[in-house]
Amino acid sequence: MPQNQSLIFTLPPIYFSICLLNLLIVELSSNSKRSFILLSLAFVLFGTDLQNRSRNLSQDDILSFTSEEAAVIFRVENVKQGSKSNRIMVSLLGFVDGENPLELPHRILIFYPKRDSLFVAGSTYSASLSLSRIKSNPTDEFNWEKYWARRCIYFQSFLASNKSLLLLKSREPPFLNIEDHQARLDKGLDKDEFTLESKALLKALVLGNKSALGTEMKEAFARSGIMHLLAVSGLHVGIVFLFIKGILDIMQYIFRYSFNVLGISVIAVWIYAGITGFSASVVRASLMLSFYLLSLKLKRRSHGLSLLCLSAFLALSLDPDLLWDLGFQLSYVAVCGILLAYPILRSIFNPSSKILKYLWSLISLSLAAQICTFPIASHNFGMFPTYFLLGNIVAMPIAALLLGTGLFLSFFNSEMIGIHEIAIALDSLIGHFLSVINGISALPFSAIEVELNAGEVICMYAVLIALLNLIYHPEKNSLRLVQIVVVMSLFILEFY
């Protein structure tokens, strides 16, 4: 069985067409409107395939200077802080001398020393660079070469000196300078009351900045099954929304002045999404929240899956390459699992005690998300955290408290009344929290190696989708079983 194959994206289009045709025939035979969704999915897959092919065909026009330094023009798309160096993703626009013009803009990665703060997203620069192909480190669990290849990024460079760097055009107004707002909140969390570990964790939770996290802390979170808490997502967006809305409600009550609380809260959520870097998960959550509040304003019923699909459509319309982004996949698959599998799991047990009901609700939520993300996560990371339920039961409520309190403290100086005491209490809570997480990660068999190839991942999702259909539509048993057999047979023939 071939190993380390990329998920879905390297399979021949004929397999997509056969599988989708099979599903489409089954849905049409049951007179279901879901056939439209399958047809739309076919267009998305083939459209992305054509886009990738067009980019791959034009790679040769930048291979000429992979080993030699050349002056190039590029536009910065985003800036990412790292533990050892900073990274920017740029669109390579052409050469300064005008020779060998590029047929298409290519995206590459540029690394530069952590001490420097050189780049602003949206601005255009020129610099002398020499490119090299992105290669994965054999000692790393995660295959970075495959990850970036899925996003059609194959080359990288290291800018050791800014001597050749020249700003050609700045496109970002001062108010929208994300780095400035990030720096303000980052400074607000640099309080003397916090230890280095507390600062690193709060910055990761509140801002999504994991550059200060140590390897041991990341490993502990991963083995405890709570690494998702360090990625800004729906939990963060919800808390920010409630935090801003709560403050505005209090102001409205005190000053006896009416204003659009929900509208201002949504704007604040999108500002927060920008400050945290517009990651796929935070964009998804912000879009879904915006659509939900809009449906309330218009007095229309909203459905979770409809909001999820609409947010995915808009996100992919702005950046089609997000479809191959691992964060995008995990975020949408997790929410889809929560919307579909969580009600089924929650209905299995209905305790009378409120405490037990809360615990079972939390367990069902974690199980639903873990079941649906397990195939993709195992394919990419090759590890399964066996104590993920225990980790999430302990971490979820505490992380929500840390996030809300950390966000509150980031706006105030320690010299203000009560802020010093709150910071000390929060630092103590973080210390105990990390001790518990380290204890869970140190348990025997806290993580087991599970590596799935692309065929196994797709087979698992085919079975999962069919099982959910069987539960929600038991009258269509025979059709769903046919789906399972046909889809699994196709991919078994491909991968064995």
pLDDT tens column, 351-372: 888 888 888 988 898 899 888 8
Q: What stretch of H or E contains 166?
A: strand 166-169
User: 291: which 2 tokens?
Assistant: 């659509």
Whether the CB-CB separation of 157 and 131 falls below 8 Å is answered with yes
pLDDT above 50 for 382: yes
- pLDDT for residue 6: 37
- pLDDT for residue 2: 38
Distance of alpha carbon 324 from alpha carbon 301, whole angstroms: 31
- pLDDT for residue 439: 92
User: Residue 449 is which amino acid?
Assistant: E
Distance of alpha carbon 484 from alpha carbon 181, whole angstroms: 50
- pLDDT for residue 380: 79
9 compared with 144, residue with greater pLDDT: 144
What number of helices (H) and strands (E) belong to the chain? 16, 9
For 292, phi then psi, to 5°, come to -65, -45
User: 214: which 2 tokens?
Assistant: 């140590």
pLDDT above 80 for 321: no
**Per-residue model confidence as pLDDT tens digits over 170-221:** 765 554 566 667 777 778 888 888 888 888 888 888 888 887 788 888 888 8
Whether the CB-CB separation of 185 and 275 falls below 8 Å is answered with yes
Supply the DSSP string of 455-492, one letter for each residue.
Answer: HHHHHHHHHHHHHHHHHH-GGGHHHHHHHHHHHHHHHH
482 compared with 382, residue with greater pLDDT: 382
Banded model confidence at residue 140, pLDDT cuts 50, 70, 90: low
- pLDDT for residue 12: 44
CA distances from 180 to 186, 192, 369 (A): 10, 22, 35
- pLDDT for residue 274: 82
Supply the DSSP string of 227-251, one letter for each residue.
Answer: GGGGS--HHHHHHHHHHHHHHHHHH
Q: Range with the lowest mean pLDDT among 51-65, 209-223, 454-468? A: 51-65
Q: Token pair 């970002």 is at which residue?
A: 172
- pLDDT for residue 7: 38
pLDDT above 70 for 16: no
Banded model confidence at residue 250, pLDDT cuts 50, 70, 90: confident
Question: Taking Cα atoms as reference points, which of 112, 145, 141 lies closest to residue 383?
Answer: 141
- pLDDT for residue 435: 92
Q: Where are the beta strands (DSSP E) in 272-354?
A: none
- pLDDT for residue 489: 53
Residue 66 is given by DSSP the state: S
Q: Range with the lowest mean pLDDT among 119-133, 160-174, 268-282, 443-457? A: 160-174
Residue 5 is given by DSSP the state: P
pLDDT above 80 for 43: no
Average pLDDT score, the chain: 76
How wide is the angle at C-alpha 416 spanned by C-alphas 414 and 421, nearest 5°?
60
User: 247: which 2 tokens?
Assistant: 């403050």
pLDDT above 80 for 76: yes
Strand, coil or helix: what is 108?
A: strand
281 compared with 59, residue with greater pLDDT: 281
183 compared with 1, residue with greater pLDDT: 183
Residues 6+ apart with CB under 8 A from 134: 109, 144, 145, 148, 149, 153, 154, 155, 156
- Per-residue exposure over 45-76, b if at least 16 CB sit within 10 Å of its own CB, e if not: beebeeebeebeeeeeebeeeeeeebebbbbb
User: 334: which 2 tokens?
Assistant: 């997790």
Banded model confidence at residue 1, pLDDT cuts 50, 70, 90: very low
- pLDDT for residue 406: 86
Banded model confidence at residue 429, pLDDT cuts 50, 70, 90: very high
User: Residue 458 is which amino acid?
Assistant: I
Whether the CB-CB separation of 198 and 435 falls below 8 Å is answered with no
Q: Range with the lowest mean pLDDT among 127-141, 416-430, 432-446? A: 127-141
* The dihedral sign for the CA sequence 450, 453, 458, 463: negative
pLDDT above 80 for 62: no
User: 12: which 2 tokens?
Assistant: 């021949």
pLDDT above 80 for 431: yes
User: Residue 391 is which amino acid?
Assistant: G
Banded model confidence at residue 428, pLDDT cuts 50, 70, 90: very high
Banded model confidence at residue 67, pLDDT cuts 50, 70, 90: low
- pLDDT for residue 237: 86
Residue 175 is given by DSSP the state: G
Mean pLDDT on 447-459: 79
Mean pLDDT on 122-149: 77
pLDDT above 50 for 283: yes
Mean pLDDT on 4-25: 45
User: Residue 311 is which amino acid?
Assistant: S
What percent of the chain stands above pLDDT 70?
A: 74
236 compared with 179, residue with greater pLDDT: 236
**Per-residue model confidence as pLDDT tens digits over 105-127:** 578 888 888 766 667 777 888 88
